Structure 1
Amino acid sequence: MTRTSAEKTGFWDRAATWKALLLVVVYLVFYLAVGRLIGMVFDSEIDGDNVVGSAASIFFALVLPIAIGAVALLLFAIKVGWLRAIFGPQPIGGRRWMWIAPLLVLAAIVAHVAGTDWDAWNGQEIVALAFLGLCVGLAEELATRGLTVKILRDAGHSERYVAVVSSLMFALMHTVNLIAGMSLRTVLATVVYTFAFGMCMYLTMRVTGTIWAAIVLHGLTDPTTILTTGGLDEAVVSQGGGATVAAALVTVVLIAFGFLAIFLVRGKVGDPEATRATTA
């Protein structure tokens, strides 16, 4: 007998926090496996000493693995029937104070663009980094602010719980950099930053009413950070050098605001206030 669609997706319909964690872990394992395979096949194209040293290295080492990961996440969302819920309007409104989050992220992006030594990059490298930003924004936001947030909301949790846990999962995703040989100090700094950044992306999604705003801002953050500092997560501990002072200051404020927001987030999907428009 052929199973119905509901029977096929029943496991994911019964939401729980551990299932959100399971999804993130499976995605990370898949992403790392794909990256390892691509690295073996296209080893000659990847600059092991400076992964962003050429357009080919950027594409094969960074873009292609995350692009395949994004496609896998999209296929999963389609299979379980969550695509419309994730990319459609948010089921709970935001508050005006939440606009601070996207404004801080945008300010950091502008500061990074202003602080970039454009002569240090060629056109192909810039295009490759732009494509990387698109893929990273889609994959990581879909995994955390999309799939993870939906599972946590479906499990009946408050929005504070949803914001904190989804941001924590986003931050812990970056601990895999230890496997790549990144120093523990840098990874710990990255976890702190990415948690706060995750909170800002959650708030962006809430206040704009759509995950697309978070995808766009996230997609602009990574390539502009790399262009300014010459590295991705290393930028968290190196902005006092290559990046502008303004970008470093905005990053500090963003981190502080991200942690402060833990105590400010209110609401729960399903409450009477959930359908209200953005208010003070």
Structure 2
Amino acid sequence: MNTTAQRSGWARFWDHGRWWKALVLAVGYLAIYEPASLLMAPFVPYIGDEDSTSYVLVLIVVPVLIGGLVLVGFGASVGWLRSTFERQPIRGRGWMWIAIVVVLLFNVLRFASIDYSAAGFDWVAAWLLAGLVIGFSEELLTRGYVVRIMRSSGHSEVAVGLVSAALFALLHGSNLFTGQALGPTLLQMVYTFFFGFCMYLALRVTRTIVAPILLHASTDPSIFMQGTHPAVGGIGSLAQLGNIAVVLVGVVLLIVFLISERRIRHHDQIMLSNPVRGS
């Protein structure tokens, strides 16, 4: 492993974490993803409507894949890639599993209420691939690199979790500049903030980035496929409450998280001020 002195100036720059570097990285990802989407625009007349397999592959998978490959290259260039996928050093708490259970539950409900015969195998497969690419890229950025930057600058886990979720919401706020109306964009940002916070809790409690990647990878396909080809039945109606449930549960878990982290900091301060008592 390279020592600090042997590392390049580029790597040393990113090693000294600051919150604004996390913002720069997120904006940089958008600066790559958005042009990559525009590069696909000439193919629109040839790929059919939003319900076509080619649409999903060309306009969703390819741009995100380009952004994901750039993120992998970035991680390799600063020596973060391997450690990002290693076991995380900070433990979670039992109640954090609630975030995983709620997200996973509604993903399963949505997958169970899709009209697969109407959707077609190719379209379903394309969306599953899209979900994997989206989950990998966005979680590598926000729960991987952003979390690392924030922790390396000595911020509390409250700041780590909130900034990670906020930058994740920012990524989706960029839809405002691609023609999406303000109202739906704001609602999407609220949902993605709390979903991103749930993914941070998944990272904490499992201590591996693989967990939020897989949860995220199953979320986007289930939402879009169930919304496009819903099956008739009560499960579908319940599944459609998933986004609301994530927001409501996210609010409650955020409150619990803030209280829990405050108690931990208070306990640590007592131990530091009275080491004899803490021994």
Structure 2 spans left out of the alignment, 5+ residues = 270-279
Q: Which moved more, 1:185-194 or 1:116-125?
A: 116-125
Number of corresponding residues: 257
Residues 84-163 of structure 1 aligned to structure 2 (within 5 Å)? 84-163=82-161
RMSD across aligned C-alpha pairs, in angstroms? 2.4
- Give the whole-Å Cα distance in 2 for the aligned partners of 1:161 and 1:211: 18
Partner of 1:26: 28
Residue type of the partner of 2:118?
Answer: A
Deviations 1:237-258 (A, max 9, x none): x9xx998222233432321121
Q: Distance in 1 between matches of 2:234 and 2:140?
A: 31
Is the contact made by 1:228 and 1:243 (CA closer than 8 Å) also made in structure 2? no
How many angstroms apart in 2 are the aligned matches of 1:130 and 1:151?
A: 30
Contact 1:163–1:199 (8 Å) recurs in 2:
yes
1:72 corresponds to which residue? 70
Partner letter of residue 253 of structure 2?
A
User: Matches of 1:152 and 1:259 in 2, distance apart?
Assistant: 22
Change (3 A) 1:189 1:8: closer
Stretch deviating more after TM superposition (82-91 or 19-28): 82-91
Which amino acid in structure 2 is aligned with residue 67 of structure 1? L
1: CA distance, partners of 2:171 / 2:91:
27
Q: Which of the two has greater helix per residue?
A: 2
Q: 1:181 to 1:202 in 2, by over 3 A?
A: same
Structure 1 residues 233-272: aligned runs within 5 Å: 244-265=236-257, 266=261
CA distance in 2 between partners of 1:157 and 1:45 (Å): 49
**Per-residue Cα deviation, 1:79-114 (whole angstroms, up to 9, x for no partner):** 101112211111100100000001001111111012
- The letter of the residue matching 1:35 is S
TM-score under structure 2 length normalisation: 0.86
Cα offset for 1:166? Answer: 0.7
Larger radius of gyration between Structure 1 and Structure 2: 2
Partner Cα separation in structure 1 for residue 47 and residue 183 of structure 2: 25
In the alignment, what sits opposite 1:8? 10
